[in-house]
Every structure is written in C-alpha cells, then in structure tokens.
C-alpha cells in the first residue's frame, strides 16, 4: 500500500447497495471506517461484515460511518446485505479504479497460482478525510472490535 497515515484518502463516488451512491466527500465531518474485502458471501468476508454489523450502533455512537468496498457488482451487494441483514452500505468498484487508488488491488497467490485480488484492508479516516489508521492484511477475528476502539480514541 502506497498510502500512509496522515495522507488524504483518495476521493471516490461509487454505486452502492440499495441503489445509493456512496461518495467519500459526502461523509466528511464524520469518522469513516472504510474496509476493503475480496468477495461477497464468502466465509471470511461474511464474518467480517457480520462483525462490523454487530457493532454498528457502537460505531455510530462514536460518530463513525462504516463502508465496505469490493469489486462485486451492486446486485451481489444487495443480495449479500439482504441475506445477512447488513445495515451499512457496500460500495461496488467493478472498474477497480478506487481499489487501485488505495493500493489494495494486488497480486495474490494461492496454491502456487498468481492472480489479482483485493488485499483485505481497513482504513480509519478522520473527520477531514485523512488516514488516521491502516490495518493491512486483516485477520477477521476481533478486527471490528479493534477498529471500534481506534474510532472511539480518534478525536
């Protein structure tokens, strides 16, 4: 990832779940939890989404907005949200332009096969849209709780 703490987060406007347009600039003034994940309805991504969803009221109490972002199409996001009752928006970046801007569209390897995919990463942005914290190569268990603690600590 080429972005570092203190950098302004790259702006984006993307289509999102429930027919909404998700614009980073429209959320300024709030803390933003932006989490990048590989694919809807897979085991790790489902657990991660459920973790954020379970703590959503706590994130809102800390004045933090949660947004998930993957290359899946909006229709897939809508199905994923409906199946698991997700109450926060999921942004769709089918062009992968935003994923590249954040440095999370990377070469991966599984069983010796190389392919391009999303490196599970979370960023916490401050109220001005600057990167306050980065969690690269996220391990899902306990992650949402750790991000919530950081959001609470951020002014």
Among candidate residues 22, 45, 104, 151, the one labeled active-site is 45
Is 81 designated active site?
Answer: no
Long-range pairs for 52-61: beta carbons < 8 A, 24 or more residues apart: 52/88, 52/144, 52/147, 53/84, 53/85, 53/86, 53/87, 53/88, 54/144, 55/144, 55/145, 55/148, 56/87, 56/88, 58/148, 59/33, 59/148, 59/151
Catalytic positions, written as ranges: 45
């Amino acid at each position: 990832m080429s972005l570092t703490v203190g950098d302004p987060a790259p702006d984006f406007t993307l289509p999102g779940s429930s027919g909404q347009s998700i614009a980073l600039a429209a959320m300024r003034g709030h803390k933003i939890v932006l989490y990048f994940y590989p694919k809807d309805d897979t085991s790790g991504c489902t657990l991660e989404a459920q973790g954020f969803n379970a703590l959503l009221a706590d994130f809102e109490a800390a004045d933090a907005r949660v947004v998930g972002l993957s290359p899946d199409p909006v229709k897939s996001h809508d199905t994923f949200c409906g199946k698991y009752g997700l109450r926060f928006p999921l942004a769709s970046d089918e062009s992968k332009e935003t994923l590249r801007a954040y440095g999370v569209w990377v070469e991966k390897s599984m069983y010796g096969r190389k392919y391009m995919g999303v490196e599970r990463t979370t960023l916490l942005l401050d109220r001005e849209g600057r990167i306050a914290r980065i969690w690269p190569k996220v391990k899902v268990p306990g992650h949402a709780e750790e991000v919530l603690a950081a959001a609470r600590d951020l002014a």
